[in-house]
């Protein structure tokens, strides 16, 4: 096992680049990428990074030159022969050849496009513009780079023994959580922590700890490169990006209302009955479920992402019952800002009433809260979202208005179109 403290103390970015492979990304990026490749290659999209934790001035911690160096390194990456073979021949979710030959062929020739970077009021304004199929690939690497450069900036001045103690405490914290998870019968949990990880080596360590500590209860990781290396399942389906772009491109208000369901129709066709987990909260879960076509209730399950987990799970149960479905046969994935206490609470509340899955993210792969002076390693909420499609602004409303994105007037217009009632803002930790 890697001695992380020594590696950090001696680190050279040429030995430990933050992003090591085109596959050092989340599985859902490749799945969504295939749908985009098949259906929307001609759409021009802009992505932008936003640090929602305004008190942390990233430009004061991360050197501009280092940031450019890491971004430029990503632009040199290409899919290796072994990685291509893994995509072409591996079984994902029980299905061989999840990715078509033409999409993998495109990915083999893919290079990350250019970026735009500037400093504004202590934050970095980082944007990516171009064909949707290319710009979408920047989201995960950009976030991983910013988070790990922050970690490196904070730890750079620490001595070897201080680093050893820091990582020993971090490991102890993760293992104590795993020991509590061991007590939950029928647990199903995955690593969803790539985007805001402390670092690649740390995420890899966390995955190995979950493998050993939880056995079959650990389903896998969202990170494709770690899944390949550790021979675990690659986990993921889709994200808010698809309905945001589909809706932005809609012709009129009725078309806007239908766009989120059109996403599911295309997805169902592309994946032939696999990966059928609904993400309903882009423009409000309650309205989405109330107007969902009957065929949506036949999908495998639902992911609760921005609503209170208990409230969201109960709403999913009511939806299935109203459509004549048995919630006990349905899968509900909880994934928003989870930590051990919430996992225990949700598990106790819904055990036996539905199939439960957990996607454990930032507070698995970046929980150094209180372990560095002044909370300098506490996780932050930094996101990379699509902000326009073919020149039209994109909007996400969310069940939590704190997570809403888009120009104010467009957000207000979408709230009217989707008849979204006033929502109570909830704090966002990660």
User: What pLDDT digit, counting tens, does each position of 229-266 carry?
Assistant: 999 999 998 999 999 999 999 999 999 999 999 999 99
Q: What is the mean pLDDT of residues 3-20?
A: 84
Distance CA 72, CA 280 (A): 36
Distance CA 237, CA 427 (A): 26
Distance CA 138, CA 127 (A): 9
Distance CA 75, CA 68 (A): 11
pLDDT in tens, 70-113: 999 999 999 999 999 999 999 999 888 899 999 999 999 999 99
**pLDDT confidence tier of residue 13, bands split at 50, 70 and 90:** low
pTM: 0.96
- pLDDT at 251 (0 to 100): 93
Backbone angle region of 220, left / alpha / beta, with phi > 0 → left and psi within -120 to 50 → alpha: left
**pLDDT confidence tier of residue 12, bands split at 50, 70 and 90:** low
Beta-sheet pairing, 382-389 with 44-51: antiparallel
Give the HSE-up count for residue 377: Cα atoms under 13 Å, Cβ half-sphere: 26
Angle at 419 between CA 415 and CA 424, to 5 degrees: 65
Distance CA 172, CA 144 (A): 23
Helix axis angle, 81-89 relative to 101-109, nearest 10°? 160
Supply the DSSP symbol for 420. P
Answer yes or no: is pLDDT of 341 > 70.
yes
360-378 per-residue burial string, b: 16 or more CB within 10 A, e: under 16: bbbbbbbbbeebbeeeebb
Distance CA 238, CA 69 (A): 30
Q: Which residues contact 64 (CB under 8 A, 6 or more apart)?
A: 117, 119, 124
Distance CA 395, CA 414 (A): 8
Residues 309, 346 contacting (CB under 8 angstroms): yes
Residues 260, 243 contacting (CB under 8 angstroms): yes
pLDDT in tens, 389-410: 999 999 999 999 888 999 999 9
Answer yes or no: is pLDDT of 215 > 90.
yes
Residue 20's Cα: distance from chain center in Å?
18
Distance CA 235, CA 221 (A): 5
Which tokens hold the place of 11? 């680190």
**Average pLDDT score, the chain:** 95
Distance CA 364, CA 361 (A): 6
Helix axis angle, 27-39 relative to 241-248, nearest 10°? 30
Answer yes or no: is pLDDT of 282 > 80.
yes
Q: What is the mean pLDDT of residues 2-20?
A: 84
Angle at 96 between CA 93 and CA 101, to 5 degrees: 125
**pLDDT confidence tier of residue 139, bands split at 50, 70 and 90:** very high
Residue 106: what are its φ and ψ, rounded to 5°? -60, -45
Residue 410's Cα: distance from chain center in Å?
25
Residues 246, 263 contacting (CB under 8 angstroms): yes
Residue 339: what are its φ and ψ, rounded to 5°? -135, 180
Beta-sheet pairing, 91-92 with 277-278: unpaired
Which of 343, 380, 316, 365 lies closest to 49, judged by CA? 380
């Amino acid at each position: 096992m890697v001695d992380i403290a020594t590696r950090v103390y001696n680190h050279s970015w040429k030995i430990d680049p933050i992003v090591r492979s085109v596959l050092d990304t989340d599985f859902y990026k490749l799945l969504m990428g295939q749908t985009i490749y098949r259906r929307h290659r001609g759409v021009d999209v802009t992505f932008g990074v936003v640090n929602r934790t305004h008190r942390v001035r990233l430009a004061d911690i991360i050197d501009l030159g280092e940031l450019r160096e890491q971004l430029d390194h990503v632009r040199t990456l290409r899919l290796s022969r072994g990685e291509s073979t893994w995509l072409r021949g591996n079984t994902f979710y029980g299905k061989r050849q999840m990715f078509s030959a033409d999409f993998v062929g495109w990915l083999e020739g893919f290079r990350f496009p250019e970026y735009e970077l500037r400093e504004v009021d202590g934050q970095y304004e980082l944007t990516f513009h171009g064909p949707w199929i290319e710009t979408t690939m920047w989201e995960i690497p950009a976030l991983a780079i910013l988070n790990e450069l922050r970690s490196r900036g904070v730890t750079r001045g620490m001595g070897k023994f201080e680093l050893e103690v820091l990582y020993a405490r971090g490991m102890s914290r993760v293992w104590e959580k795993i020991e509590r998870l061991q007590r939950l019968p029928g647990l199903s949990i995955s690593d969803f922590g790539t985007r805001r990880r402390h670092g690649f080596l740390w995420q890899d360590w966390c995955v190995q700890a979950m493998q050993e500590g939880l056995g079959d209860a650990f389903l896998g990781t969202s990170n494709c490169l770690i899944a390949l290396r550790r021979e675990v399942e690659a986990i993921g389906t889709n994200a808010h990006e698809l309905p945001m772009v589909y809706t932005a491109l809609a012709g009129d208000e009725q078309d806007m209302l239908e766009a989120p369901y059109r996403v599911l129709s295309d997805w169902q066709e592309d994946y032939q009955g696999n990966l059928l987990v609904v993400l309903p909260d882009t423009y409000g879960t309650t309205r989405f479920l109330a107007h969902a076509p009957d065929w949506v209730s036949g999908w495998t399950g639902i992911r609760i992402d921005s609503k209170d987990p208990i409230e969201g799970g109960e709403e999913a149960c009511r939806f299935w019952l109203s459509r004549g479905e048995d919630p006990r046969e349905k899968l509900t994935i909880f994934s928003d800002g989870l930590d051990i206490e919430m996992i225990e609470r949700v598990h106790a509340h819904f055990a036996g009433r539905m199939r439960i899955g957990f996607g454990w993210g930032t507070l698995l792969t970046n929980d150094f809260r209180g372990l560095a002076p002044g909370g300098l390693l506490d996780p932050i909420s930094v996101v990379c979202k699509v902000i326009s499609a073919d020149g039209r602004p994109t909007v996400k409303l969310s069940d939590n208005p704190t997570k809403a994105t888009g120009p104010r007037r467009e957000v207000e217009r979408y709230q009217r179109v989707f008849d979204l009632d006033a929502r109570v803002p909830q704090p966002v930790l990660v």
